[in-house]
């Protein structure tokens, strides 16, 4: 009952056809004759509603709307609304979508694969809602058991416990507000500095152009771009800390990566610091995002340098480690198994335990104002957890610090390196056409303008619903560029539907933040790639050229 589909399509054979398709796919459903019987079935339980748009016209929707509005906090009932081709003019019932809530539109005649894909996605979300409900029930039952236990204690113990609980709540709230204040204050401080550089350079550009002055415009443009890139870097570090960055995990030869960074690391430290690399020659292949790993190593080396203002010895070490259950059970989401360890050790000032405890907090830093953001270690912490790994700090005041990063061992066959093709010219050839699906008008205009300047034809859509008819047409499309976080149907779902019409469709996803794209492995199929906002137009055009030419 909790996962069945309740179907209301009173005209024609849509309800019988839909139920047959669902049954063949292993889903259960029930057909209702009108809104009243649909509401009666809904009270008994449902995984989703499948409603024809015409069933909402002329009927009394008050009971249905009331049931939807009265859903408990954990529930967001999925509704698939069967519509006709032609947009709002042909589908007046679409105006009810905001009141209905979690609505997905499906145009008729619908393909079985499309229907089953939408139903599968809806039920997957519904199951997560049931899991949230069960967790709330468990929490409620645990609270009740605790309350019953406390009631059996003597009055004196009760009074004392209540007092301690009150004191603990006050302390916890104080710590929470301090953490929130530190986080928001750090973000505001850094972003305000960066926005000042961006807004100030644009204002100066406007004034000089208004006066006809064109000297030193490049310097002002560079200032604005530098500030914008710093802001982009800050958002990426925040996403890394919250484990919501888009990772491109792949096999990594960690020794080769460390050696390739040797010159950069040497330039990043003082001449008074000796850099010693102790690399295990029998090192396993790790699985990680190499770009994020390089950033993590550079951050650790810079932190070690700053801990040795009078010089010292800095050791970068790699080795194989097997972490057993005794170790991993003490850490959330860490599984026993083989790991590749990368550590950075200094013999500098070291840290007291109070500093170690807060070292991974965002914007926490012991450096003077202006000399550190406090995001380096928090970024490494988020990167390690999102990569299914671990990071640890050991330190002693006046003796030095070691930060160890554990990344999972790669379990497959290491692919052979293929020769690098010569870069293609970015200009379009033979009328190549790109479909741009982006809900932000500014991003859409910028992308279309850049591609147009290079000779590409383009077609635009502001959301997935507008893009589907284009995909299901004779329009030439060599590549689809789609934001992941579209309103309604997301970019990944749109790509699946697009490949039903065009099996060889190539897709370039662009994303600033998308929960389901946080780890690219499993998100991207062959013929799909992803770039992260904000991106340079050189990167965008290179990706477009590369994907079209494949």
The answer for residues whose C-beta is within 8 angstroms of residue 228's C-beta and 6 or more apart is: 194, 198, 534
In a domain, 420, yes or no: no
Contact 362, 377 (CB under 8 A): no
Residues 287, 407 contacting (CB under 8 angstroms): yes
Q: Do residues 478 and 548 make contact, with C-beta atoms less than 8 angstroms apart?
A: yes
Let me know if residue 140 belongs to a domain.
no
The DSSP-derived string for 333-390 is: T--SEEEEEEEEEE-SS---HHHHHHTTSTT---SPTTS--S-HHHHHHHHHHHTT-E
Q: What would the mean pLDDT of 230-259 be, rounded to a whole number?
A: 69
Give me the pLDDT at residue 93, please: 67
266 and 376 assigned to the same domain:
yes
Do 25 and 99 lie in one domain? The reply is yes
pLDDT of amino acid 470: 94
| Nearest Cα to Cα of residue 56 among 114, 104, 10 | 10
Segment 94-101 shows an average pLDDT of 78
Q: Are residues 395 and 487 in the same domain?
A: no
For residue range 386-405, what is the model confidence (pLDDT) as tens digits?
888 999 999 999 899 999 99
94 in the same domain as 28 = yes
423 falls within a domain: no
The domain that contains 299 carries what CATH number?
3.30.565.10
Contact 389, 406 (CB under 8 A): yes
Residue 150 lies in a domain: no
Burial of 400 from C-beta contacts in 10 A (0-12 / 13-18 / 19+): buried
Q: Using the predicted structure, report yes or no on whether residue 319 has a pLDDT greater than 90.
A: yes
Over the stretch 247-258, which tens digit does the pLDDT of each residue have?
667 899 999 999
DSSP string, 89-103: TT-GGGGGHHHH-SE
133-137, 360-364, 420-424, 511-515: the lowest-pLDDT one: 420-424
485-527 tens-digit pLDDT = 888 888 889 999 999 999 999 999 987 654 444 444 456 888 8
Q: Give the chain's mean pLDDT.
A: 81
Answer whether residue 515 is part of any domain: yes
390 plus 463 within the same structural domain: no
Task: Report the candidate in 343, 289, 347 with the shortest Cα–Cα distance to residue 320.
Answer: 343
Domain boundary among 106, 127, 148: 127
If asked whether residues 325 and 399 sit together in one domain, one would say yes
Using alpha carbons only, what angle is made at residue 193 by residues 359 and 382, rounded to the nearest 5 degrees? 30
Give the range of the structural domain holding residue 33, as residue numbers without chain letter: 5-127
Cβ 316 vs Cβ 265: under 8 Å: yes
Q: Output the six-digit token pair for 321.
A: 């480690």
Question: How many CB atoms neighbour CB 439 within 10 A?
Answer: 16
> 3-class DSSP state for residue 455?
coil
- The verdict on 332 and 400 lying in the same domain is yes
Residue range 286-302, pLDDT digits in tens: 998 887 888 888 889 98
Give 13-53 pLDDT, tens digit per residue. 889 999 999 999 999 999 999 999 999 999 999 999 999 88
CATH of residue 499: 3.40.50.2300
Residue 192, domain CATH: 1.10.287
59 and 193 together in one domain = no
Residue 422: exposed, middle, or buried by beta-carbon count in 10 A (0-12, 13-18, 19+)? exposed
Instruction: Give the end of a domain, one of 372, 392, 408.
Output: 408
457 and 528 fall within a common domain:
yes
Q: Is residue 56 a part of any domain in this protein?
A: yes
Q: Where is 8: in which H helix or E strand?
A: strand 5-8
The number of domains in the chain is 4
Residues 260 and 388 placed together within one structural domain of the fold? yes
Could you tell me if 227 and 256 lie in one domain? no
Whole-number Å distance between alpha carbons of 316 and 258: 8
More confident residue, 374 or 437: 437
CA distance 88 to 108: 14
Of 186, 206, 241, the residue at which a domain comes to its end is: 241
Q: How many CB atoms lie within 10 A of CB 424?
A: 14
Residue 39 covered by a domain? yes
Residues 256 and 385 in one domain: yes
Distances (CA, A) of 3 to 35, 69, 81, 199, 203: 19, 20, 18, 52, 57
Residue among 259, 198, 265 nearest 227 (CA): 198
Residue 413 lies in a domain: no
Predicted confidence at residue 83, as pLDDT, reads 87
């Amino acid at each position: 009952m909790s996962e069945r589909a309740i179907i209301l399509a009173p005209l024609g054979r849509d309800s019988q056809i839909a139920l047959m398709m669902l049954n063949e796919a292993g889903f259960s459903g029930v057909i209702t004759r009108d809104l009243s019987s649909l509401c009666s079935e809904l009270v008994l339980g449902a995984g989703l509603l499948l409603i024809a748009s015409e069933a909402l016209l002329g009927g009394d929707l008050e009971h249905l709307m009331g049931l939807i509005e009265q859903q408990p906090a954990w529930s967001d009932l999925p509704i698939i609304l069967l519509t006709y081709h032609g947009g709002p003019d042909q589908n007046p019932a679409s105006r009810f979508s905001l009141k209905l809530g979690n609505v997905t539109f499906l145009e008729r005649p619908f393909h079985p694969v499309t229907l089953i894909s939408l139903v599968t996605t809806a039920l997957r979300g519904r199951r997560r809602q049931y899991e949230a409900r069960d967790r709330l029930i468990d929490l409620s039952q645990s609270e009740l058991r605790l309350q019953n236990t406390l009631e059996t204690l003597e009055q004196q113990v009760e009074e004392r416990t209540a007092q301690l609980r009150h004191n603990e709540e006050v302390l916890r709230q104080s710590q929470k507000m301090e953490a929130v204040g530190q986080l928001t204050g750090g973000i505001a401080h850094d972003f305000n500095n960066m926005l000042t550089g961006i807004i100030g350079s644009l204002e100066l550009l406007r004034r000089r152009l208004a006066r006809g002055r064109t000297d030193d415009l490049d310097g002002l443009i560079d200032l604005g771009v530098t500030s914008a890139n710093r802001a982009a870097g800050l958002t990426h570090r925040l996403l890394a800390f919250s484990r919501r960055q888009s990772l491109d995990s792949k096999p990594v030869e960690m020794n080769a990566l460390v050696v390739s960074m040797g010159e950069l690391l040497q330039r990043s430290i003082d001449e008074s610091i000796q850099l010693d690399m102790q690399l295990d020659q029998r090192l396993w292949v790790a699985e990680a995002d190499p770009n994020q790993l390089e950033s993590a190593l550079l951050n650790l080396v810079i932190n070690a340098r700053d801990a040795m203002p009078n010089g010292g010895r800095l050791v970068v070490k790699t080795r194989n480690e097997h972490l057993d259950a005794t170790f991993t059970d003490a850490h959330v989401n860490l599984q026993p198994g083989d790991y590749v360890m990368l550590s950075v050790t200094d013999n500098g000032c070291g840290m007291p335990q109070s500093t170690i405890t807060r070292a991974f907090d965002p914007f926490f830093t012991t450096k003077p104002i202006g000399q550190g953001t406090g995001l380096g270690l928090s970024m490494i912490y988020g990167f390690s957890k999102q990569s299914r790994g671990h990071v640890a700090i050991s330190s002693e005041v006046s003796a030095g610090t070691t930060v160890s990063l554990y990344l999972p061992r790669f379990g497959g066959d290491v692919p052979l390196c293929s020769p690098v093709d010569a870069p293609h010219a970015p200009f379009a050839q033979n009328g190549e056409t790109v479909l741009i699906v982006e809900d932000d008008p500014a991003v859409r205009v910028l992308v279309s303008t850049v591609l147009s300047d290079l000779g590409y034809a383009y077609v635009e859509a502001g959301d997935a619903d507008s893009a589907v008819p284009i995909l299901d047409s004779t329009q030439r499309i060599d590549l689809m560029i789609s934001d992941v976080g579209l309103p309604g149907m997301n970019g990944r779902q749109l790509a699946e539907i697009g490949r039903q019409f065009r099996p060889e469709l190539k897709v370039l996803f662009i994303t600033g933040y998308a929960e389901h794209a946080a780890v690219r492995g499993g998100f991207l199929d062959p013929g799909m790639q992803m770039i992260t906002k904000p991106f340079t137009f050189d990167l965008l055009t290179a990706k477009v050229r590369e994907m079209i030419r494949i």
